């Protein structure tokens, strides 16, 4: 299996369609089909089920896809590390971060870092905590800025800052006169929340359980701005970090007095994989900034 055919397999596995994959790869369909046949012979098992002239990745293919992505990521990392050793002021950093950090923290840190290292580039990915930490372990990204701290022992961790959590309510809500409250004050209120895989949702569920609340979650959103928008529209209340961007908010933010109403944001990496010089330089920059915060 050569790297080209490995990359072809990943694209085919993601599209599950020979025509679409061939177009994306700029190769002919017969060429791609022959490559897949060779790939499956070398794998020793069919990797797709053929259903109505379509391909469906089967359990063998799922295993192969996991390892193929990891192999391609490792080769990319090797090339980047070699390039960085030849010229430490260049190279690329593969960075993943939470959706909620895209509006202020990550852009500001990138702007400041690039003032001192303008030749270092970035490959960026944003997503929920579970997905970005898995990308770290798969070797698809070098480091992740995430919350809360991953439980798995494979991760290295460095705290960057701590968010205070608050209850977001619409203007004119019955609780808006409070300067601070326990989450139990929202008993009986409908809640807007993030999906169960989100780190903030896990923290929210813990706080709700501690206060004995089993709220009616009327909607699960993918990003905090969507949560706030629905709160502002009167669909419910929500637990979110106290905003730091200084912008005018559509909701009222009431700090929570619960002891665990905090979100630790930090830098996560795979301890078994050495960071490239550019990634190590960016991690040191973030850590130094955190120590002076």
Rounded Cα distance between 149 and 91, Å, is 28
Q: Give per-residue pLDDT as tens, 136-147.
A: 998 899 999 999
> CATH 3.40.50.11900: does it fit domain 3-66?
no
Structural tokens at position 168: 């977001």
How many residues are recorded in the chain?
Answer: 293
Query: Do the Cβ atoms of 279 and 143 come closer than 8 Å?
Result: yes
pLDDT at 246: 54
Domain residue extents for the chain: 3-66, 83-160+265-291, 161-263
* 160 neighbors 290 (Cβ within 8 angstroms): yes
Q: Which CATH architecture has domain 83-160+265-291?
A: 3-Layer(aba) Sandwich (3.40)
**Tokens 């206060």, located at residue:** 211
Q: Which letter, b or e, does each residue of 108-126 get, where b requires 16 or more Cβ atoms within 10 Å of its Cβ?
A: ebbeebeeebeebeeeeeb
**CATH topology agreement for domains 83-160+265-291 and 161-263:** yes
Structure tokens of 284?
Answer: 């040191």
The CATH number given to 161-263 is 3.40.190.290
Return the structure tokens found at 93.
């950093």
pLDDT recorded at residue 2: 78
Query: What's the pLDDT at 227?
Result: 94
Q: Are 186 and 167 in contact (CB under 8 A)?
A: yes
Within its chain, how far is the Cα of 114 from the centroid?
22
The sign of the torsion formed by the CA atoms of 238, 236, 212, 181 equals positive
* CA angle (8, 41, 49) in 5-degree steps: 70
Give average pLDDT by consecutive 10-residue segment, the chain, 293 residues: 85 90 90 90 90 87 91 82 70 91 91 92 92 92 94 95 95 92 96 91 93 94 91 96 74 94 95 89 89 58
Backbone angles phi, psi at 198, to 5 degrees: -75, 140
pLDDT at residue 204, as a whole number: 94
């Amino acid at each position: 299996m050569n790297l080209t055919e490995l990359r072809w397999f990943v694209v085919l596995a993601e599209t599950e369609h020979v025509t679409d994959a061939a177009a994306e790869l700029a190769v002919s369909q017969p060429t791609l089909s022959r490559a897949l046949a060779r790939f499956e012979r070398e794998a020793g098992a069919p990797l797709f089920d053929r259903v109505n002239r379509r391909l469906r990745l089967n359990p063998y293919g799922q295993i192969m896809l996991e390892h193929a992505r990891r192999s391609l990521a490792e080769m990319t990392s090797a090339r980047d590390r070699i390039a960085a050793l030849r010229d430490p002021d260049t190279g690329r950093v593969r960075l993943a971060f939470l959706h909620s950090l895209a509006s202020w923290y990550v852009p500001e840190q990138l702007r400041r870092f690039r003032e001192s290292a303008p030749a270092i580039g970035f490959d960026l990915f944003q997503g929920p905590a579970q997905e970005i930490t898995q990308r770290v372990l798969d070797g698809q990204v070098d480091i992740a800025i995430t919350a809360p701290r991953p439980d798995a022992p494979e991760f290295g961790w460095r705290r960057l800052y701590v968010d205070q959590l608050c209850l977001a309510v619409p203007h004119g809500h019955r609780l808006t006169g409070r300067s601070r409250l326990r989450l139990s004050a929202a008993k009986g209120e409908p809640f807007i929340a993030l999906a169960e895989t989100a780190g903030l949702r896990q923290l929210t569920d813990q706080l709700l359980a501690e206060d004995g609340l089993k709220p009616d979650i009327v909607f699960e959103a993918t990003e905090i701005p969507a949560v706030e928008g629905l709160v502002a529209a009167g669909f419910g209340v929500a637990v979110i970090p106290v905003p730091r961007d200084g912008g005018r908010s559509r909701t009222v933010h009431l700090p929570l007095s619960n002891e665990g109403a905090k979100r630790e944001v930090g830098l996560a990496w795979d301890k078994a994989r050495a960071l490239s010089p550019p990634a190590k330089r960016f991690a040191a920059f973030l850590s130094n900034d955190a120590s002076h915060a």
